[in-house]
């Protein structure tokens, strides 16, 4: 299995406010732009041979085509001295769709759709919000993307995509993946059926 360096997009105002973004095309805020620069440093530090610049220069970059991910990968690549536009956007890496719930906080969703939220708590992996997607549905499109990956790559996408990849190539169960912490400003390394955050949670 190729080694994958997964990076979640930087913070947006909706992240800070706890709003479900899904397919809504939000932009990075100032902290998110800073996180994109920070994660570039982390990526350079964890390369198998950091002194060999050709490793990083030759690494394919794949990204969701949404604005917050495009901004992240372009800042990241620019910080590494690479062509900011030298990446491949792929619609299969878009965030999970939350449908009618998008733009609301979880508190607002629970108040407006108590039945739906209770159903989701019973099975987060297969529950499909009104007009949205389930993680199982997202798994199908991400699996299709992953089947075409033949070499070590960097992936810049979303929290929902990270959860699916934890199951697809990180050895985690769906039940654990849907509640796992998904960090911004860090790199999630998938290698040989396992995964680890770099730097580890609790370290800057």
Band (pLDDT 50/70/90 cuts) for residue 52 is: low
* 69-101 pLDDT per residue, tens: 999 999 999 999 999 999 999 999 999 999 999
Domain 4-198 has CATH 3.40.50.1240: yes
Q: Which residues are catalytic?
A: 9, 95
**Confidence check: pLDDT of 61 > 90:** yes
SS3 133: coil
| Calpha distance 27→12 (Å, rounded) | 6
Residue with tokens 């939220």: 117
* 129 secondary structure, DSSP code: -
Q: Which two tokens stand for residue 36?
A: 């994109």
Residues 39-59 have a mean pLDDT of: 77
End-to-end CA distance of the chain: 29
Q: Report the percent of the chain where pLDDT is more than 90.
A: 89
The pLDDT value given to residue 20: 98
């Amino acid at each position: 299995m190729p080694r994958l360096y997964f990076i979640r997009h930087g913070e947006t105002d909706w992240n800070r406010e706890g709003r479900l973004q899904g397919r809504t095309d939000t932009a990075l805020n100032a902290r998110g732009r800073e996180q994109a620069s920070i994660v570039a440093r982390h990526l350079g530090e964890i390369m198998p041979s950091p002194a060999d610049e050709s490793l990083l220069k030759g690494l394919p970059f794949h990204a969701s085509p949404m604005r917050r991910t495009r901004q992240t990968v372009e800042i990241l690549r620019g910080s590494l001295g690479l062509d900011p536009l030298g990446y491949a956007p792929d619609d299969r890496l878009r965030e999970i769709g939350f449908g009618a719930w998008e733009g609301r906080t979880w508190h607002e969703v629970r108040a407006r759709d108590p039945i739906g939220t209770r159903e989701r708590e019973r099975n987060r992996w297969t529950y499909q919000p009104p007009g949205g997607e389930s993680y199982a549905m997202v798994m199908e499109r991400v699996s299709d993307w992953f089947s075409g990956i033949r070499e070590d790559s960097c992936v810049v996408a979303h929290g929902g995509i990270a959860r699916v990849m934890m199951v697809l190539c990180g050895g985690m169960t769906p039940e654990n993946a849907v509640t796992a912490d998904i960090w911004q400003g860090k790199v999630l390394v998938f290698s040989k059926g396992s995964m680890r955050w770099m730097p580890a949670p609790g370290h800057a």
